[in-house]
Amino acid sequence: MDLFYSGTFEERLKLLKKDIKEYARSAGYNYGRKKLYLAYGNPENVGNNILFVTPPLNKDSKPYQDRPSVELISSAKEFGLDKFFITSVYPIPIEKVTKKHIKSYSYWVHQTIDLFEPKLIVVMGEQSELVFVNRKFILRDYYGQKITDFHSADVILAYPMSYYLEQSEYEDPSYKRSLKIQEWSSLKELYDKLIK
């Protein structure tokens, strides 16, 4: 934990949000009186949770209420992963988030992780892995696998929920269903070992 962010969870969260708003201002976005939605989850689960790190939030949707977030929350509950947090690789609502934005913001994702103290981190999609690694892991080859660790938590690569929600007319829907069951069943096994 960064010593600068000391105090109760609520005090640390408030300081972190203040600093992120300052970062956003220096990057050209002013929150003004708007609220910064840093994460979704129950504060009771700090220190005993799985943390999902998702692609950038949709700037036109209410944070954590867009279709992929709703599907993620629903899937976590469906598979019995009740103690979780969700945070984004870039929660600042700008038009187009680039690789440079994500790399620049990664310090703040790391501070957020320190705040929530997860026992397992799941990065959802190839954009999200950029917060932890400098080389690209191809999703189809590495999904469900540990790609690194952060402090004492394993970092697992997973498909973003948007992948499961999108369906072309040429895709077999049963393939994505079986892939999701396989991926989430593996996450459930790790969850059961680490989170009490």
* pLDDT band at 167; cut points 50, 70, 90: confident
**Each residue of 171-183: pLDDT tens digit?**
787 888 999 999 9
Mean pLDDT of the chain: 90
The architecture (CATH level 2) of 9-194 comes to: 3-Layer(aba) Sandwich (3.40)
**Each residue of 36-93: pLDDT tens digit?**
999 999 999 999 999 999 999 888 888 899 999 999 999 999 999 999 999 999 999 8
| 123 token code pair | 């990065």
User: Which residue in 83, 130, 126, 124 sits closest to 107, CA to CA?
Assistant: 130
pTM beyond 0.85: the answer is yes
Q: What is the pLDDT of residue 6?
A: 76
Q: What is the pLDDT of residue 132?
A: 86
Region 125-136 average pLDDT: 82
Q: What is the pLDDT of residue 27?
A: 87
Kindly list the domain boundaries of the chain, sorted by start residue: 9-194
Q: Is the pLDDT of residue 1 over 50?
A: no
Residues 6+ apart with CB under 8 A from 64: 37, 40, 57, 73, 86
